[in-house]
Amino acid sequence: MSTIAAVSTPNAPGGIAVIRISGEGAIETAEKIFRPFNVKSVSEMPGYTCAYGIAHDDDERIDDCILTIFRSPHSFTGEDVAEISCHGGLYVSRKILRAALKNGAENAEAGEFTKRAFLNGKIDLTQAEAVMDIISAKSEAELNNAEFLREGAIFRTAEKCSGRLLYLLSGIAAWTDYPDEDIPEVEPDNLREELYEIRSELYSLIRNYDSGRIIREGISAAIVGRPNVGKSTLFNCLSGFERSIVTDIAGTTRDAVEETVRLGDIVLRLTDTAGIHETEDIIEGKGIDIAEKIAQNSELIIAVFDGNCPLTEDDFDLINKFKNKNSIAVINKTDLEQTIDSEYINNNFIQTVYLSAKDNSGSDELKAAIEKIFNISPDFFASATASNERQRSCISRAVQNIDSAISALDNGEFLDAVNVVLDEAEQNLLELTGKKITESVVDEVFSHFCVGK
Ligand code: GDP
For residue range 294-312, list pLDDT tens digits in order.
778 888 999 999 999 999 9
CA distances from 200 to 157, 163, 196, 241 (A): 11, 15, 6, 46
Q: How far is the CA of 227 from the centre of ligand 1 (A)?
A: 9
Closest ligand 1 atom to the C-alpha of 235? 7
Q: How far is the CA of 271 from the centre of ligand 1 (A)?
A: 17
* 115 or 264: which leads in pLDDT: 115
- Residue 341: Cβ within 10 Å count: 12
Residue 362 beta carbon below 6 angstroms from any ligand 1 atom: no
Q: Which of 234, 358, 361, 363 to mutate to test the pocket of ligand 1 (most atoms within 8 A of CB)?
A: 358
> Can you give 66-130 as a three-state secondary structure string?
EEEEECCCCCCCCCCEEEEEEECCHHHHHHHHHHHHHCCCEECCECHHHHHHHHCCCCCHHHHHH
* pLDDT value of residue 288: 66
User: What's the rounded mean pLDDT across residues 128-150?
Assistant: 88
Q: How far is the CA of 306 from the centre of ligand 1 (A)?
A: 9
Distance from Cα 364 to the centre of ligand 1, integer Å: 19
> According to the per-residue pLDDT averaged within each range, which of 157-161, 217-221, 289-293, 379-383 is highest?
157-161
The whole-angstrom separation of Cα 43 and Cα 289 is 70
Residue that wins the pLDDT comparison between 366 and 246:
366
Give the list of residues 6+ apart from residue 49 with CB closer than 8 angstroms, or none: 39, 68, 69
Q: What is the dihedral of CA 60, 62, 67, 70, to 10 degrees?
A: -70
Whether the CB-CB separation of 35 and 53 falls below 8 Å is answered with yes
Lowest mean pLDDT of 19-33, 113-127, 263-277, name the range: 263-277
Among 226, 228, 306, name the best residue to mutate to test ligand 1's pocket (greatest count of ligand atoms within 8 A of Cβ): 228
Out of 57-66, 83-92, 380-389, 414-423, pick the least confident: 380-389
357 lines ligand 1 (CB under 6 A): yes
| Residue 238 to residue 362: CA distance in whole angstroms | 10
Name the closest-CA residue to atom 18, ligand 1: 230
Does the CB atom of residue 227 touch ligand 1 within 6 A?
yes
The average confidence (pLDDT) of the chain is 89
**Predicted confidence (pLDDT) at residue 54 exceeds the cutoff of 80:** yes
Q: Is 287 in the pocket of ligand 1 (CB under 6 A)?
A: no
- The CB of 225 under 6 Å from ligand 1? The reply is yes
In three-state secondary structure terms, 65 is strand
CB of 231 closer than 6 angstroms to any ligand 1 atom: yes
Angle (deg, nearest 10), helices 231-239 and 363-373: 90
